[in-house]
Structure 1
Amino acid sequence: MHDLLAALLLGIIEGLTEFLPISSTGHLLIAQHWLGARSDFFNIVIQAGAILAVTLAFRRRLWELATGLGEPANRDYVAKIGVAFLVTALVGLPVRLAGWELPETVTPIAWALVVGGVWMLVAEHYAEKRGDVATVTWKVAVLVGLAQVVAGIFPGTSRSAAAIFVAMLAGTSRRASAAEFVFLVGIPTMFAASGYAFLELLSDDALGGEDWTAVAVAFVAAAATGFAVVRWLMGYIKAHRFTGFAIYRIVLGLLLLALMPTGS
C-alpha cells in the first residue's frame, strides 16, 4: 500500500508540475529523495501520462490545425511547431548521445529554481512593454526549440517556463498565445523524448521487475492531474501574471539550499 501511495503521489506531482512553470524534473527528483527512487521506465510512463493530458486538453486546437491545413495561417503555425521541434531534436540529441545525466543532488536544482524564478520576474516585466502581441514568428519558433534543450540540460529550469518566457521576450508577448505554442510544441517533443528513452531501455533489456499496478496508478494520476492543470492554467494566465509561480520557485529554492546545504 505504501508503494502504491508513493506512486500515486509521484504521478500527481508529475501532472501538477509538467506544465506549470516550476519544473517537473526538479520536483520529481526532490520527491524521490523521500518517496524512493523509481526506474527510468516508471518516469517515462508518468511523462506519457502528461503527454496524453496536454493532447486531450488541446484536442480541439489540434483538430482545427489538422483539418485546416488548406488555410495559410494554419500551415504557417504547424510549420513553426515543426521548426521548434526540429531545433530541439537536432541540438538535444547530440547532448543525449554525449551521455548527459541529470544530477542526483538537490543543490543544482535549488539554484535553478531560484535563478529561474528571478528570470521569470525580469522577463515578464520586459515582455509586457512590447504590448499584447499574439503572433508567433519564426524567430520565436527557433528560440522555443533552443529553450527546451536548455531546460533539459539544467533540471529545475522548467521546460514550460524557459520556452514560454523566451517566446514572450522574442515577440509573442501575450501569455496565453506563448503558452499555447509552447504546449503544442511540447507534444511531439515529449513523445519523441519518451519514445527514444523507451527504445534505449528496450535495447538494454532493462524493462523487467516493474510493479505494473504502481505504474498504472501513476500514469492515470499524471494524466488526470495534468489535464486539469493545463485547462486551469490557460484560463488563469489570461488575466494574471506569472508572479506567483516565480515567487514559489524562489522560496522553494532558498528553503532547499537552507535545509539541505550538502544537496542530499
Structure 2
Amino acid sequence: MNDLLAALLLGIIEGITEFLPISSTGHLLIAERWLGHRSDLFNIGIQAGAILAVVLIYRRRLWGLLSAFAGHDAPAKYDPLGIASTPAQSRTYAYKLMLAFAVTAVCGLLVKRLGWELPDRVQPIAWALILGGIWMVVAEYFASRRALALGERNTITWTVAILVGIAQVVAGVFPGTSRSAATIFVALLAGTTQRSAATEFAFLVGIPTMFAATGYELIDVIQSGEAANEDWSAFLVAFIASAITAFIAVKWLLTYIQSHRFTVFAVYRVVLGAALLIFV
C-alpha cells in the first residue's frame, strides 16, 4: 500500500476512535498489523491532531475557565451546561479539572516506574474490547437507575474528579479499554447523571492529560534522535487527517448523546472483539 495512503488511514482511525468510547489504542495496534508499524513520533503526531480538534471545539469553554482562574470576575459568556455560570463556580470547576489531571499524572508516573508496557498482541486487546463493551452495558443500566433516583445532575464533585483521574490511568494501562468510556461512565456512576456534563468533563480532563503524555513521549523521541529519520510528508498527512476526523467525530458524539445511549458503542466493541478472536 502507498505509504501516504497508509498514513492517511491511520490518521483517520486515530481521529475517529480517540474520543469515541471504542478505544483508539486498540484500533491502532490492530491497524498497524496491516498498515505497517509506525514510529513513536508518528503516533505522537496523530494523537496531537486529535487533541487539537477537541481544543478547538471547547475553545470558548476553555477560555472562560482560564479567565476565571486568572481572577477575572466577568460572568462566563459560554457555558451551555450551566455548570460554571459564575466566576467562582468556574474557578472551582477548573480546580477539579486540575485535581483529576494531578491524580492521573501521579498514578501514571507510578505505572511508568513499575515498568508497565502496553501489550501489542491482538488477543488481550480483543478481550478488553469485549469486556469493556459488556461493562458499558452494565454501567449504562446502573447509571440510568441512578439518574432516575437523583434526577438530572450536571455537578462535578471532588469525588468525581478523583475517580475520573484514576479511570484515565486504568484505561491507559489496558489498551482496548477506552479512556473516554472509562471516564464518562465513572462520572455517571459517581453522581454526575447528566450525560453531556460527564462527557464534557471527561474530554476537558483529557486535553491536559494527552498534551502531557504527548510532551513526555516527544522528549524521549527527540533525545533518541528518532526525529531525524521521520517521513514528514506522511506525518503531516496523518496529523491533518486525525485533526479533521476527530473534530467531526466529537461534534457528532456531543449531539448523539443528547438523545441516545452508549449501547451502540458497546455492541460494536463486543462484535469487533469477537471477530478478532475468531479471525486473528
Q: Could you tell me which residue of structure 2 aligns to residue 46 of structure 1?
A: 46
Q: Which runs of 5+ in 2 are unaligned?
A: 74-86
Deviations 1:223-257, CA, capped at 9 Å, x for gaps:
01101111111111011100000000000001101
Matched, 1:167 2:183: no
Deviation at 1:62, TM superposition (A): 0.9
Give, in whole Å, the separation in 2 of the partners of 1:94 and 1:198: 19
Q: Which runs of 5+ in 1 are unaligned?
A: none
Give, in whole Å, the separation in 1 of the partners of 2:38 and 2:146: 44
Give, in whole Å, the separation in 2 of the partners of 1:130 and 1:68: 32
Matched, 1:233 2:253: yes
One-letter amino acid of the structure 2 residue matched with residue 154 of structure 1: F
Q: Percent identity?
A: 63
What are the residue-to-residue correspondences of 1:83-122 with 2, within 5 Å?
Answer: 83-122=99-138
Matched, 1:213 2:239: no
Deviation at 1:88, TM superposition (A): 0.2
Two-structure CA RMSD over aligned residues (Å) = 1.0
Q: Could you tell me which residue of structure 2 aligns to residue 130 of structure 1?
A: 146
Deviation at 1:72, TM superposition (A): 1.2
Give, in whole Å, the separation in 2 of the partners of 1:98 and 1:195: 20
Give, in whole Å, the separation in 2 of the partners of 1:47 and 1:253: 23
What are the residue-to-residue correspondences of 1:182-201 with 2, within 5 Å?
Answer: 182-201=202-221
Number of residue equivalences: 260
Q: Could you tell me which residue of structure 2 aligns to residue 244 of structure 1?
A: 264
Deviation at 1:99, TM superposition (A): 2.6
SS at match of 1:208: helix
Deviations 1:115-140, CA, capped at 9 Å, x for gaps:
00011111011011122221110000
TM-score, length-scaled by structure 1: 0.96
TM-score, length-scaled by structure 2: 0.91
More displaced, 134-143 or 92-101? 92-101
After TM superposition, which residue ranges in structure 1, 4 or more long, deviate above 4 angstroms?
none
Deviation at 1:204, TM superposition (A): 2.1
